């Protein structure tokens, strides 16, 4: 049985991975909450000791510093968790012959593209968060470990703080919402990410050299594209009218909603490489959203 070490417990993707990875082997979860092996990613010694003690066959890093705006004032912590820790994981995994699966972000790009980003396109992060995630990618690639770096974007799910949860809450509290309509991306359900990851690993179980033969960076997002405004409208329109106050959703420009960190104006990622290598295609973002909302609804649990 494969030994899988998962960094992250209750994050959107980590929560789903705890379930999808269970069919592939014995999953040990390392997190900061003390419910398993303690692993504060800002502490290099803890990261090293967890891997050395566990000696996994596969390391999956679903933990990250994701507070994009806070990172602008806390670059040291963001870099420690997103940039340095993945490099340490890669070094330790390489020494024991383990695979490393790591998640990255559309924020490694500047958003100036006019067509979906390819994995080979030049990176140019606009802020600290993107810079720290790019540093993590580079550290992994330089380590020599057999690895997959899965870049995703606009992640939401049933747990944690994310756009879906925020819009549902605001729609219950306010009569009018003002949402940015000039940033474009592909909303991606955390469960879709976890399921695709497990499908890749299941294919890799057939041969020890599989991952090394396919290693590198892959884009992993749902299909289609929309603006944050369009995503918000889809969320609100799916809500029970009796449960929401919002009846007006106003599109606004990014300039009308200033934030400490700059966001890429265009975050659509091409998934062609993923499909060609693994035969995996994530659903359209609208279909994934419907499935997520169905899962969240009380009827979905009856």
What ranges in 163-256 are assigned the alpha helix state H?
163-173, 190-204, 210-214, 228-237
Burial (CB count <10 Å: 0-12, 13-18, 19+), residue 173: exposed
C-alpha distance from residue 122 to each of 109, 111, 119, 269 (Å): 7, 11, 8, 13
Residue 107: closest CA among 142, 66, 70, 148: 66
**d(C-alpha 83, C-alpha 289), whole Å:** 31
**Is 42 in a helix, a strand, or coil?**
coil
**d(C-alpha 182, C-alpha 226), whole Å:** 10
**Is 253 in a helix, a strand, or coil?**
coil
Burial (CB count <10 Å: 0-12, 13-18, 19+), residue 253: exposed
Return the ∠ at Cα 118 (arms to 114 and 122), rounded to 5°.
80
Does the annotation count 156 as an active-site position?
no
C-alpha distance from residue 150 to each of 119, 133, 228 (Å): 10, 12, 22
C-alpha distance from residue 271 to each of 73, 118, 238 (Å): 33, 8, 27
Residue 179 contacts residue 251 (beta carbons within 8 Å): yes
DSSP symbols for 83-127: IIHHHHHHHHHHHHT-EEEEEEEGGGS-S--SSPBPTTSPP--SS
Catalytic position from the list 65, 129, 156, 218: 129
Q: Which residue has the tokens 């100036």?
A: 112
Active-site annotation, residues: 129
């Amino acid at each position: 049985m494969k030994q899988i070490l998962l960094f992250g417990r209750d994050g959107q993707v980590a929560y789903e991975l705890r379930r999808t990875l269970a069919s592939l082997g014995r999953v040990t979860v390392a997190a900061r909450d003390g419910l398993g092996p303690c692993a504060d990613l800002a502490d290099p010694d803890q990261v090293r000791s967890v891997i050395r003690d566990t000696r996994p066959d596969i390391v999956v890093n679903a933990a990250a510093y994701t507070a994009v705006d806070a990172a602008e004032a806390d670059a040291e912590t963001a870099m420690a968790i997103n940039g340095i820790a993945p490099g340490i994981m890669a070094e330790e995994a390489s020494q024991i012959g383990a695979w490393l699966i790591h998640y990255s972000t559309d924020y490694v790009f500047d958003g100036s593209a006019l067509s979906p980003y390819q994995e080979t396109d030049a990176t140019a992060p606009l802020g600290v968060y993107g810079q720290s995630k790019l540093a993590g990618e580079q550290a992994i690639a330089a380590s020599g470990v057999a690895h997959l770096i899965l870049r995703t974007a606009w992640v939401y799910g049933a747990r944690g703080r994310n756009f879906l949860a925020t819009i549902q809450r605001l729609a219950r509290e306010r009569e009018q919402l003002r949402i940015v309509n000039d940033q474009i991306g592909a909303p991606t359900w955390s469960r879709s990410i976890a399921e695709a990851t497990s499908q890749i690993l299941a294919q890799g179980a057939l041969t020890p050299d599989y991952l090394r033969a396919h290693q590198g960076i892959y884009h992993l997002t749902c299909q289609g594209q929309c603006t944050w405004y369009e995503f918000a409208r889809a969320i609100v329109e799916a809500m029970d009218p009796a449960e929401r106050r919002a009846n007006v959703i106003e599109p606004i420009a990014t300039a009308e909603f200033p934030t400490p960190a700059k966001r890429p104006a265009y975050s659509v990622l091409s998934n062609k490489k993923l499909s060609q290598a693994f035969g995996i295609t994530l659903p359209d973002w609208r279909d994934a959203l419907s499935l997520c909302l169905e899962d969240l609804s009380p009827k979905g649990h009856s």
